Structure 1
Amino acid sequence: MSGIGRAIAKKLVECGAETYALSRTQADLDTLKKEVPSMHVIQIDLQEWDKTRETIAKIGPVDLLVNNAGVSKLAKFTEMKKEDLDFVMDVNFNAVFNVSQVVAKAMVERGEGGSVINISSSASQDALMDHAAYCPSKAAVDMLTKCMALELGPHKIRVNSVNPTVTWTDMAKMHWSDPAKSEPMLAKIPLGKFIGVEDVVNSVIFLLSDKSAMTTGECVRIDGGLGVH
């Protein structure tokens, strides 16, 4: 677990929540556990549908869920390989659907409500070159967010997504460090910079909390004004 997910998990512990962090990378979990000894860490590959369901079902009760796992494979639309498309959709959309289904069903059965946050992207609404797999995967997350909010609202379960533009994580640095690529994007952002991890974390914590008790089904852009165009 790294980047946004790691920062969210640490903030949740800081806020007093009993927190479970899931990742397919054991090394990331080991360092997270070392930094935050009270953190519960679980190694799981979210592409494994049935194993993921079994693992999630053993955690509980879950009142707050953050679906953060995300990957990207960049290629021209005409050159995108099926295995890369499947990989992106499996992690970015199918895993969100799978984990949320297990958690939400348990929330409904308990009858105490809850809050779910899906980490989406401004790329769900803004087409990007070479992102013909990534952008649609996040658009699917946005619509899933709305469908979940509609069905789960009567059970006092709120569902929202957070949609940041480029957030300065290791993955972003890999794709956006070249000024030839980053400068045209930055020129479109009125606030003139990419998003910090803390900007995403703060929005997630707000939407998880009772401070946003009447907010559900929303896709909240964190983009420095990029979306005004």
Structure 2
Amino acid sequence: MFDFAQRTILVTGASGGIGAATVRLLRRHGADVLASGSTAEGVAELVAETGARPLPFDLTTEASVRDALQDVPLWGVVNCAGFGGEISSPTDFDLDVFDRVITVNARGALLVTKYAARTMIAAGNGGAIVNVSSQAALVALSGHISYAASKAALDSMTRVSALELGPHGIRVNSVNPTVVMTPMSAFYWGRPEIQEPFLSQMPLGRYATEEEIAAPIAFLLSDAASMITGVTLPVDGGYTAR
């Protein structure tokens, strides 16, 4: 189903669980993958394992994103870099944490889209962008005021980008995963008092794996999804269907 031969795809957040799983899957299907993290050291092991090419940059700084991407011929992008922030309510959130969550999850993805899309348009070959959002953008989750705001912004940027870039043959979609038990999420979702009531409300009754998120990302990048753009795809075991 997936054939990414002759296609260069950037994956941000490649040092994380979902990002690394996505790099592995895309490489298995022939993609020329640029694995991005904040440092080359952070993706060195993945690069050695998969044959992906490292492309480190600081997505919180526009100059760093611009310098890294302005001359790179891309066919696809996966905006997977993310920051979980804190567990807090609207009455006790930390503004500095909120600002960083927005900076990484929303602003960073928008900067990558800005410069990647320019090279994609210039190449004239179309392409695809997939933003890794969250179920937190679709339903209210206690304690997730900052994270939910950042991912809801990302979903809105997905829709607007799909509208603006569609005439250039560039599709833009989001995947909205449920909890994946990565180190970023385990500190909260691994607690029995949180995990048990949450999973009891999910039809499939379990957390997702990194590979179960990577597969829909690859699908949305692929020609099998050639008529799909502007969607937010829950990958959540049915949680948001309640």
Partner of 1:57: 70
Query: Is 1:157 equivalent to 2:202 in the alignment?
Result: no
List aligned pairs for 1:84-163, cutoff 5 A: 84-163=97-176
Partner of 1:209: 222
Q: Distance in 2 between matches of 1:73 and 1:170?
A: 13
- Greater mean alpha carbon deviation, residues 107-116 or residues 84-93: 107-116
Amino acid at match of 1:15: H
Partner of 1:71: 83
Residue of 11, 31, 52 corresponding to 2:45: 31
Which runs of no fewer than 5 residues in structure 2 stay unpaired?
Answer: 1-14
Q: Offset at 1:89?
A: 0.3
Identical aligned pairs, as a percentage? 37
TM-score by length of 2: 0.90
Number of residues paired by the alignment? Answer: 227
Q: Offset at 1:76?
A: 2.5
Q: Offset at 1:70?
A: 0.6
Q: Offset at 1:33?
A: 2.0
Partner of 1:174: 187
Q: Is the 8 A contact 2:181 2:190 kept in 1?
A: no
Q: Offset at 1:112?
A: 1.1
Q: Distance in 2 between matches of 1:226 and 1:64?
A: 29
Q: Distance in 2 between matches of 1:47 and 1:68?
A: 14
Query: Is 1:12 equivalent to 2:26 in the alignment?
Result: yes
Q: Which runs of 4+ in 1 moved over 3 A?
A: none
Q: Distance in 2 between matches of 1:102 and 1:73?
A: 26
Partner of 2:196: 183
- Which digits, 9 at most, give the CA deviation of each residue in 1:128-150, with x for residues without a partner? 11111000100011110000111
Q: Offset at 1:217?
A: 0.4
Amino acid at match of 1:70: G
Amino acid at match of 1:68: C
TM-score by length of 1: 0.95
- Greater mean alpha carbon deviation, residues 20-29 or residues 133-142: 20-29
Q: Offset at 1:104?
A: 0.9
Q: Distance in 1 between matches of 2:35 and 2:71?
A: 14
Q: Offset at 1:25?
A: 4.4
Q: Distance in 1 between matches of 2:46 and 2:57?
A: 15
3-state SS in 2 of match to 1:202: helix
3-state SS in 1 of match to 2:158: helix
Q: Distance in 2 between matches of 1:48 and 1:151?
A: 24
Q: Distance in 2 between matches of 1:66 and 1:143?
A: 16
- Which digits, 9 at most, give the CA deviation of each residue in 1:139-197, with x for residues without a partner? 01111000011111111110000001111222122221111011111011001111111
Q: Distance in 2 between matches of 1:21 and 1:81?
A: 31
Q: Offset at 1:26?
A: 4.1
Q: Distance in 1 between matches of 2:69 and 2:140?
A: 33
Query: Is 1:2 equivalent to 2:55 in the alignment?
Result: no
Q: Is the 8 A contact 2:47 2:54 kept in 1?
A: yes
Q: Distance in 2 between matches of 1:199 and 1:41?
A: 24
- Greater mean alpha carbon deviation, residues 81-90 or residues 43-52: 43-52
CA RMSD of aligned residues (A): 1.2
- Which digits, 9 at most, give the CA deviation of each residue in 1:28-62, with x for residues without a partner? 312112212x2111222211121111111132x10
Amino acid at match of 1:152: L
